Amino acid sequence: SSVHQLSSHNVQIQLKTGNIRKVPGKTRRGNALYQIISASGQVRRTLQVDKRNGKVYEVVENADGDGYDSDDEEEEGGNSIRLGLGDFIFYSVLVAKAAIYSFTTFAACMLVILAGLGGTLVLLSVYHSALPALPISIFLGVLFYGLTRLAIEPWVENVMQTPLYV
């Protein structure tokens, strides 16, 4: 059993067998990489210690040979955008309720939900941090549901009843 210290954050790892070595000349996002070597000399894992907070992440190789952190979802998330199942449930309930009333209400709700998602994407690009996807879309969806149902739909019905001759 041996104890190893990684970086200046006093991160200590205790191994029953094997060793830890720093990967020379390789870094990931400016953080040093360490390999855990088994007693037989094989590389078992590659670790990265974050300079900012001292957290230790396992670096996993994908099929292309590029490494990504197993905890990227928490940290910086890469360049991916993910919507949870709950987001889709809220969107679908609102759009379904609007579709029951009329096509105009359905179309308005669908368009403002997409606009709200677009607004959330713009805010993501500005703030570079995780944001909830629901608030803007749901607020706009409910607002336009009420507006369309109370103001626009009666106006559309009135226009449809009045014959226009061109």
- SS3 for 35-72 is EEECCCCCEEEEEEECCCCCCEEEEEECCCCCEEECCC
Profile the chain (166 residues) by mean pLDDT over runs of 10 residues: 53 68 71 80 81 77 55 51 77 92 92 92 81 88 93 88 82
The per-residue pLDDT for 75 is 46
Helices (H) and strands (E) in the chain, counts: 4, 7
| pTM to 2 decimal places | 0.50
| pLDDT tens string 112-152 | 999 998 998 888 888 877 778 888 999 999 999 999 999 99
